């Protein structure tokens, strides 16, 4: 395994419930280092661009709206096998299928309000990190 970087987003449902610190603690306990982080309010247009890969899905419009309902925290995580490690600590997309101990099991409200996003492949991680961060914002 190699050291990787991945993009993580703490979604509006979680920032609204003041869960940023508790989610960050889980990421750090899983061995991931938060090497960049910022809190943003994004427009629906930006959410649509970010989630363009899902444009044909029935949930696309709701997903993009939901990302604008409050602040998001975008972050770059670094660590051994970071993409998969983050997916594991996030838990299943639908919180009712997530394992105990995962972020979505503990904090997710529903599939629409599942508290976090994480890149799902090395290529997407590179693209998603570049979407929100410039190189000089990553502090290792």
Q: Which is nearer to ligand ATP, 22 or 93 (CB)?
A: 93
Residue in 11, 26, 104, 117 annotated catalytic: 117
How far apart, in whole angstroms, are the C-alpha atoms of residue 55 and residue 57? 6
Task: Report the b/e string of 15-52 with b at 16+ CB within 10 A.
Answer: beeebbeebbebbeebebebbbbeeeebeeebbbebbe
From residue 50 to residue 89, the character string flagging contacts with ligand ATP as x (rule: CB under 6 A) and all else as - is ---------x---x--------------------------
Total interface residues for ligand ATP by CB under 6 A? 9
Among 10, 42, 74, 117, binds ligand ATP (CB under 6 A): 117
Residues 6+ apart with CB under 8 A from 81: 1, 2, 4
Lookup result for tokens 């309010």: 41
Among 37, 46, 112, 122, binds ligand ATP (CB under 6 A): 112
> From the CB of 27, what's the least distance to ligand ATP, in Å?
13
């Amino acid at each position: 395994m190699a050291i990787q970087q991945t993009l993580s987003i703490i979604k509006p449902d979680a920032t609204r419930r003041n869960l940023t610190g508790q989610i960050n603690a889980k990421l750090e306990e899983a061995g991931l280092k938060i090497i960049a982080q910022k809190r943003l309010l994004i427009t629906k247009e930006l959410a649509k661009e970010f989630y363009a890969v899902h444009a044909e899905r029935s949930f696309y419009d709701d997903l993009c709206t939901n990302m604008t309902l409050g602040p998001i925290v975008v972050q770059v995580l670094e660590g051994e096998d970071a993409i998969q490690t983050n997916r594991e600590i996030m838990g299943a997309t639908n919180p009712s299928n997530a394992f105990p101990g995962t972020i979505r099991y503990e904090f997710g409200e529903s599939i629409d309000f599942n508290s976090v996003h994480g890149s799902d492949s090395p290529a997407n991680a590179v693209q998603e990190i570049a979407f929100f961060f410039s190189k000089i914002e990553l502090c290792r």
